Amino acid sequence: MKKNFLLITGGTGGHVIPAKNFANYLSTKNIKCTIITDKRGYKYFNNYNQKIYIISSSNLNGNIIFKIFGIFQILLGLIQSYIIIFLLKPSHSISFGSYASFSPMLACILFKPFYKVKLYIHEQNSIMGRTNKFFLNFINKLFLNFDIKSKINSKFKGKIFIVGSPENNFKENTKISNKNSKINFTIFISGGSQGSEFVSNFATNLIKIVDNEKIIKANFIFQCSKHLIKKQEEKLRNIKSPIILQDFFINVEEILANANLAICRAGAGTIVDLINFKVPSILIPLPSSKDNHQFFNAKILAKHDLAIIIDQNNDDLNKAKRYIYEIYTHTKKLESMNKKFDMIQVKNSNTLIYKLILNEN
């Protein structure tokens, strides 16, 4: 049977970007690859040259009115998904999680009695997402970004494969700079795909302290939401350290390849990027993340002494400042960190996932 892949994703960049990377990889293999996503996820698929379908979805948050409206959106998404899948007749469907994937995955299962389709899940986070967990009984294989097998029911162990997160071609070919160098010591600050006022304010206060104490010489590349830029510019106008402040950077991979330290949230995609580009970090997990998964993501790096975790409710600027000075000063520590990054890095995830799928045919 001719291979015809359907990738299901939506919501935030942590779910969508791995799907996009794998879709682009399949395109290099001349394999037909269709995307189902929601409106939030669609914005990440700029310049994608195969078919994308946008469906209705909802996370059922809010009061009773929003929940009723959400149920309607899910049912509409289910009808839309079933029609799309009926027309596509995919040979393989891979869900990358988020609530937006619920309706398409359910439609795939309802479609199976009439047409054979193999189902897979890719879990990016260190805690299994609720939507992905719901479909574990129906899938052929479960692909994990991190080794979280101990957190998953043992009856599924035969389905589990640790593959990392699908990477883009830039990462595979990018030369990483010398992280031990004090020349052009660069700190990258990012609030994540949704932006973060807390991270922006925390980083601004930290920059002011570091600049005032003059213990190190650092450059700052600072990404924050567009509506916060003027506020941050006003706070930083007397800072003498070089700062590039923008709401979006198209060359994030290049920045990470040359960054000595990062201050950021702890989404799965962020953790993977920090590992791939060997960037020590100050991680501020989003407290409202589902099942507190960002905290557990952050622990993956912290337990290897590759990051520190800042509790948003504590706002410990001194802890963050000390860590910056430590990274700047201790060359031997950085050499040790580089080796630890190599130990936990999973490379060629696209190829590995593809081979695991082909082995079933």
Which CATH number is 110's domain given? 3.40.50.2000
Residue 186 reports pLDDT greater than 90: yes
Q: Do 256 and 352 reside in the same domain of the chain?
A: no
Q: Do 41 and 150 reside in the same domain of the chain?
A: yes
Distance of alpha carbon 150 from alpha carbon 56, whole angstroms = 34
pTM: 0.84
**Which of these ranges, 73-87, 166-180, 234-248, has the smallest mean pLDDT?**
166-180
Q: Each residue of 118-132: pLDDT tens digit?
A: 999 999 999 999 999
Q: Do 151 and 200 reside in the same domain of the chain?
A: no
The confidence score (pLDDT) of residue 195 equals 55
Q: Each residue of 72-94: pLDDT tens digit?
A: 999 999 999 999 999 999 999 99
Tokens of 18: 């791995």
Distance of alpha carbon 99 from alpha carbon 89, whole angstroms = 23
DSSP state of 176: P
Please enumerate in sequence order all residues whose Cβ is within 8 A of that of 342, keeping only pairs 6 or more positions apart, or say none: none
Sign of CA dihedral 261, 204, 300, 266: negative
Q: Do 116 and 194 reside in the same domain of the chain?
A: no
Domain that holds residue 78: 4-165+346-358
Q: Do 91 and 201 reside in the same domain of the chain?
A: no
Q: Do 182 and 154 reside in the same domain of the chain?
A: no
C-alpha 49, offset from chain centre = 22
Contact call for residues 101 and 139 (beta carbons, < 8 A): no
The number of beta carbons lying within 10 Å of the beta carbon of residue 199 is 25
Q: Do 140 and 201 reside in the same domain of the chain?
A: no
Q: Do 204 and 296 reside in the same domain of the chain?
A: yes
Residue 360 reports pLDDT greater than 70: no
Q: Structural domain tally of the chain?
A: 2
The confidence score (pLDDT) of residue 163 equals 94
Kindly state the average pLDDT of the residues 304-319. Answer: 93
Q: Do 82 and 126 reside in the same domain of the chain?
A: yes
Q: Do 46 and 34 reside in the same domain of the chain?
A: yes
In the three-class reduction of DSSP (H, G, I as helix; E, B as strand; rest coil), residue 245 is classed as strand
Q: Do 226 and 83 reside in the same domain of the chain?
A: no
Q: How confident is the model at residue 259 (pLDDT cuts 50, 70, 90)?
A: very high
Q: Do 160 and 189 reside in the same domain of the chain?
A: no
